[in-house]
A and B are shown apart, each in its own frame.
Chain A
């Protein structure tokens, strides 16, 4: 069973704080993703990574950065949290290769920035 875990289920931070969201997967997946989910907007891709040390911008990378030092771990960093970054953050992983589009998601982190 693929398992994707996220470090926190709920997080409350103040404006301007640096925020770290951690994601770990245990199935040796090459691909890892960070999304945010907002009502009426679905899941929007922030960053993704196809390998260790590699990262690619998604559709909404502004205000975020990522780190992938180990294959199983993908971190999302909010350099200076703002209230418009209040959202549900979802991490996912998948195998590479054509046809392997199924992504396995973690339970999500509900981040509130006050």
Chain B
């Protein structure tokens, strides 16, 4: 049973518009959430993270929102650019770095010029 779910395998967005990638989790003990981005033939790269004590974290065009009561987080990309086309993985971990990081199945984002 997947503890981190990304129910949309793919998403297409027009350049300049907002991309919203969603992620749900089941384990209430998760304390730290991350988003990774992966281009074909490359390893994932860290994008942005959020601690459970916050409900929002922003880094340039990327914002992650966390709703703990709903066990839901989302990544907003504004404005979307063609270079954002990639697979985005949501991930979660417990309170210590010795907790395993659990990855979701990924969402493939296509930004159309």
Contacts and interface: CB of A to CB of B under 8 A. Distances in A.
A9 B100 CA distance: 26
Nearest to A110: B41
Contacts of A90: 43-44
Interface in A12-34: 31
23 contacts: A4-B43, A40-B9, A42-B103, A42-B104, A43-B103, A58-B100, A90-B43, A92-B43, A97-B97, A101-B32, A101-B34, A101-B49, A101-B93, A101-B101, A102-B34, A102-B49, A103-B46, A103-B101, A105-B36, A105-B43, A106-B43, A107-B41, A107-B42
B96 interface: yes
Interface residues of B, number: 26
A94 B105 contact: no
Contacts, number: 60
Contacts of A100: 97
Interface of B: 4, 6, 9, 32, 34, 36, 41-46, 49, 89, 91, 93, 95-98, 100-101, 103-106
A43 B9 contact: no
A64 to B, nearest CB: 16
A42 B93 contact: no
Nearest to A106: B43
Closest 8 pairs (CB-CB, A-B): A105-B43, A43-B103, A42-B105, A42-B103, A102-B46, A105-B44, A107-B43, A106-B43
